[in-house]
């Protein structure tokens, strides 16, 4: 199953390699523990207000903070679910009746 991953650590490194999680949390006025969990990719749900504050602070879009990754096992499942369609999926009319 695909998963959503945080890219906050990459964004912070690119923005300022010396920026700490604690300093970022203070500057965006947000709970340190929440920012730390997002940084370490331990967050289960991403609060919209946190995403908004981070996007505003770094001047980026939400897609630059999170990404979707496929699990290696997903490729095997996708291939197992492939099938060929048979025939036409439209109903045919015979003698004017359905």
Which structure tokens are listed for 49? 């207000």
Residue 78 is predicted with a pLDDT of: 54
pTM above 0.85, yes or no: no
C-alpha distances in Å from residue 63, one per residue of 12, 32, 52, 97: 15, 22, 12, 52
Q: Residues 35-81: pLDDT tens digits? A: 999 999 999 999 999 999 999 999 999 999 999 998 766 555 555 55
Number of helices (H) and strands (E) in the chain: give both, helices first. Answer: 5, 2
Domain architecture of the chain: domains with CATH: 3-73 (1.10.260.40)
For a pLDDT cut of 70, what percent of the chain falls above it? 72
């Amino acid at each position: 199953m695909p998963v959503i991953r945080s890219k906050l650590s990459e964004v912070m490194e690119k923005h300022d390699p010396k920026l700490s999680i604690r300093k970022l949390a203070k500057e965006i006025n947000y709970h340190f523990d929440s920012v730390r969990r997002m940084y370490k990719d331990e967050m289960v749900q991403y609060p919209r207000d946190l995403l908004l504050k981070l996007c505003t602070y770094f001047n980026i879009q939400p897609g630059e903070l999170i990404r979707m990754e496929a699990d290696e096992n997903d490729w095997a499942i996708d291939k197992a679910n492939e099938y060929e369609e048979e025939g036409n999926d439209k109903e045919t009319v015979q003698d004017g009746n359905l």
